[in-house]
Amino acid sequence: LITFLTVLIRKYYLEAYIMDLIYTLKPFILLEAISCTNISDKNLNKYIRFLITINTFSIVYAFYNYYLASKGIYIEGGLYRNWVYRPDGFSGHPANLANICMISIAYLFQNIQNIKSKKSKLYILIIVLNLSCIYFTLARLQLFIIIIYVMYFIYQKINKTSIKIMVFLLLAGSCIFTLMDYKKILNNYTNDIDNAIRFQAIKKVP
């Protein structure tokens, strides 16, 4: 609601804004739409596994383009950050690819039963592939979310309260330690034109 009101009040380039918003939300809208329909858990799992399979091919294609870019070949229509190519696979944008990777990791992580089984080993291999892909897309928000998700999952599995408190303090301490060097973070934002635009928005929105 706030973002749409901002568009109306500030009179930004509406078409570009709406398109970008839809591109970002597409994977989540698709999953939400499917979950709202009368589909059995068996068929829903089948769909998600199909999505993960297609995304695996997308990742391979993304890494192929990344390899070409690393050899100095310019990828037509590709996105770059500080002259570093950001792979997007079949998704059209690195953030979209990272979103689908994030969904894939969450699903597979929840379905690992016996680590020694062939199925679980395959799941672990695909999880590592998806994590690597998120890293190379330079999608910082998705990488941050998936790290928090994994840590929360581990936190939920701990039974002893004392260990839970230690894990929580470790996470909180890491966040505080990172934020203590806020000047370096702000310098990174202002030196990068894309990040500088975002930082201006962060300052203006409140």
What pLDDT, on the 0 to 100 scale, is given for residue 196?
Answer: 66
With vertex at residue 55, the alpha carbon angle to CA 45 and CA 74, rounded to the nearest 5 degrees, is 170
Torsions phi, psi for 31 (to 5 deg): -65, -40
Strand partners, 85: 80
Residue type, 118: K
pLDDT value at residue 13: 66
Please state, in angstroms and rounded to a whole number, the distance separating the CA atoms of residues 17 and 143.
23
Phi, psi of 86 (to 5 degrees): -110, 110
What pTM value is reported for the model? Answer: 0.69
Report whether pLDDT(152) > 70. yes
Residue 143 has a CB neighbour count (10 Å cut-off) of 17
The tens digit of pLDDT for each residue in 158-200 reads: 777 878 788 788 777 776 766 666 566 566 655 666 666 666 6
Phi-psi region of 11 (alpha: psi -120 to 50; beta: other; left: phi over 0): left
Please count the residues of the chain.
Answer: 206
Distance CA 78, CA 94 (A): 9
Which of 4-10's residues contact partners 24+ apart within 8 Å by CB, and which partners? 6/205
What pLDDT score was predicted for residue 62?
94
pLDDT, one tens digit per residue, over 21-39 is 777 787 788 878 877 888 8
Q: Phi then psi for 80, rounded to 5 degrees?
A: -125, 145
